[in-house]
């Protein structure tokens, strides 16, 4: 690559780095944020939920908006919104303002996540795309791996607010370089239309679903049931809308293929289990084991390291022997890891927790790359762009459900006090027992994924996993 091409990839990679970093840096600070605002563990989970709801709702819309208005303009606009949202999160004087700021941040995050790969394919020659995508993937995984460590250090040494301030220099640098380096190309589809009603429907459907699941074990159970009913209605409306829209966000006809449908569900399941663990483990390490936040962040590093080490290996293996066996092996390893996590108590060794997290990451990484390849290989080449966006949507939908369901199961196991008081005031033994129940629930999700894979016939594909980043959020 020429120096200019390297700078183009650097700007895109900085966006990927920020996405990966933000995916894991917040989790480690949740116990501290909950204590700072004197709110319950269930309530503080909205720091993640609010971000993920907006992200899922806007991912496909952001990609389409880039096609209509031009990638450079929309991508840099997304960077500006993400950076400003990060600053607002850092200075938020109340929890409500923090949640609103996270939603603003998520608008920019959706644009950055949606347009990175397509910009590489648009700005660089085909002979350089594999190398450039690998570079972007490396920055994504680097951000995800460093997130817990950087988040733990900043929270312990300074304040939880610095986990948001860290985005500011990276964002400002990327915006300045991008203004001078990113090419001015004409929009790919200037006459295309954005399915705004579809975006609104999926936002309401997902928002009410997560709210309903989160509030189900609290004092407002009737409100939760009403929210879940509203969610169901809006999911049906979204399905009807997308089947009738001239330019839908999701082409539901692709789901007529059983393998495509089941493996997309498994994309959601694999992320659901990992997100559930990542929301609970900081509370286990910091509140049950009494480990300082910076040390807890280092322990959590084991999970993304496991993913980074196994994902490329599994991708190469699946290119040779097919995708089904590596996917099942990955889910089996992840199921075993979740069972081992369910044996943790207040007296368990931290070393054991670290090994179990590494195994979960290894299993997740081993399944994800072949799973991504299998889904992409089913669709014709002209549908791969929209399918890639769909995979990102299912991944983040899994994260949203993982956070909500892990908290729901933990609250059900511990009782209403989990949703009413700060976790700092709860006995360590009771917390550990409730977390164990949640880990067993997540293991059941992984086992269900294995069953779904057994119902799928392995089919040859000309799609390679080269350059595909690991899911981390």
Supply the pLDDT for residue 367: 86
Q: What percent of the chain has pLDDT over 90?
A: 20
| 1-193 and 253-473 agree in CATH topology | yes
Q: What is the pLDDT of residues 109-140, one digit of tens each?
A: 888 888 877 777 777 776 676 677 667 777 77
What was the pLDDT predicted at 331?
A: 93
**How many residues are given for the chain?**
473
* pTM of the shown model: 0.82
Tens digit of pLDDT for each residue in 32-65? 888 888 887 778 888 888 888 888 888 888 888 8
**C-beta of residue 28 within 8 angstroms of C-beta of residue 155:** yes
Give the up-direction half-sphere exposure of residue 46: CA atoms within 13 A in the CB hemisphere: 23
Whether 445 contacts 346, CB under 8 Å: no
- Going by C-beta distance under 8 Å and a sequence separation of 6 or more, which residues neighbour residue 19? 109, 112, 113, 116, 140, 143, 473
Task: From the options 1.10.3720.10, 1.20.1250.20, 1.10.10.10, 3.40.50.10190, give the CATH code of 1-193.
Answer: 1.20.1250.20
Q: What percent of the chain has pLDDT over 70?
A: 89
For the chain, counts of helices (H) and of strands (E):
19, 0
Sort residue 24 into left (φ over 0), alpha (ψ -120 to 50) or beta. alpha
Q: For the chain, which residues make up each domain, given as ranges?
A: 1-193, 196-246, 253-473
Average of per-residue pLDDT values in the chain: 82
pLDDT of residue 381: 65
Residue 460 has pLDDT above 70, yes or no: no
Alpha helices in 284-347 (DSSP H): 293-300, 302-321, 324-341
Q: Is the pLDDT of residue 308 over 90?
A: no
Query: pLDDT-derived band of residue 85, with 50, 70 and 90 as boundaries?
Result: very high
Residue with the bigger pLDDT between 230 and 458: it is 230
Q: Tokens 């199961």 correspond to what residue?
A: 409
Q: In the prediction, which pLDDT does 333 show?
A: 94
pLDDT at 462 over 60: no
Q: Any residues with CB less than 8 A from the CB of 325 and at least 6 apart, and which?
A: 458
Q: Which CATH class is domain 253-473?
A: mainly alpha
Sequence-distant (6+) residues with CB within 8 A of 35 are 422, 424
Token digits for 468?
């595909």
């Amino acid at each position: 690559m020429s120096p200019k091409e390297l700078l183009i990839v650097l700007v895109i990679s900085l966006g990927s780095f920020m996405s990966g970093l933000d995916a894991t840096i917040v989790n480690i600070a949740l116990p501290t944020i909950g204590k700072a605002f004197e709110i319950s563990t269930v309530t503080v989970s909205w720091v993640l939920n609010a971000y993920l709801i907006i992200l899922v709702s806007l991912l496909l819309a952001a990609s389409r908006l880039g096609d209509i208005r031009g990638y450079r303009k929309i991508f840099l606009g997304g960077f500006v919104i993400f950076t400003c949202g990060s600053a607002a999160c850092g200075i938020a004087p109340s929890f409500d303002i923090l949640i609103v700021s996270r939603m603003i941040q998520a608008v920019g995050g959706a644009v950055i996540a949606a347009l990175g790969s397509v910009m590489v394919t648009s700005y660089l020659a085909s002979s350089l795309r594999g190398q450039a995508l690998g570079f972007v993937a490396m920055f994504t995984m680097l951000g995800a791996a460093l997130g817990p460590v950087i988040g733990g250090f900043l929270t312990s040494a300074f304040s939880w607010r610095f986990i948001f301030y860290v985005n500011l220099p990276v964002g400002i640098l990327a915006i300045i370089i991008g203004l001078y380096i990113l090419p001015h190309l004409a929009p790919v589809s200037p006459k295309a239309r954005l399915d705004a009603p579809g975006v609104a429907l999926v936002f309401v459907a997902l928002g009410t679903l997560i709210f309903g699941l989160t509030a189900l074990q609290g004092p407002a159970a009737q409100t939760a049931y009403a929210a879940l009913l509203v969610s169901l209605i809006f999911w049906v409306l979204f399905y009807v809308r997308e089947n009738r829209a001239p330019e839908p966000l999701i082409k539901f006809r692709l789901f007529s293929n059983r393998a495509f449908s089941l493996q997309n569900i498994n994309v959601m399941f694999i992320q659901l289990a990992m997100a559930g663990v990542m929301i609970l483990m900081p509370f286990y390490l910091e509140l049950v084991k009494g480990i300082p936040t910076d040390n807890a962040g280092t322990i959590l590093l084991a999970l993304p390291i496991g993913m980074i080490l196994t994902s490329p290996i599994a991708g190469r293996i699946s290119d040779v022997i097919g995708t089904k066996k590596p996917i099942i092996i990955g889910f089996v390893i992840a199921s075993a890891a979740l069972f081992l996590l369910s044996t943790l108590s207040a007296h368990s060794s931290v070393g054991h927790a670290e090994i179990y997290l590494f195994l979960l990451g290894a299993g997740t990484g081993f399944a994800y790359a072949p799973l991504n390849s299998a889904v992409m290989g089913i669709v014709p080449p002209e549908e791969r762009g929209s399918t890639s966006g769909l995979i990102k949507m299912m991944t983040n939908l899994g994260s949203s459900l993982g956070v909500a369901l892990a908290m729901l199961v933990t609250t059900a196991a511990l009782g209403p006090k989990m949703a009413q008081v700060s976790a700092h005031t709860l006995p360590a033994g009771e917390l550990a027992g409730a977390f164990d129940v949640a880990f067993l629930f997540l293991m059941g999700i992984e086992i269900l994924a294995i069953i779904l894979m057994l119902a799928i016939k392995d089919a040859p594909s000309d799609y390679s996993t080269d350059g595909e980043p690991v899911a981390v959020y």
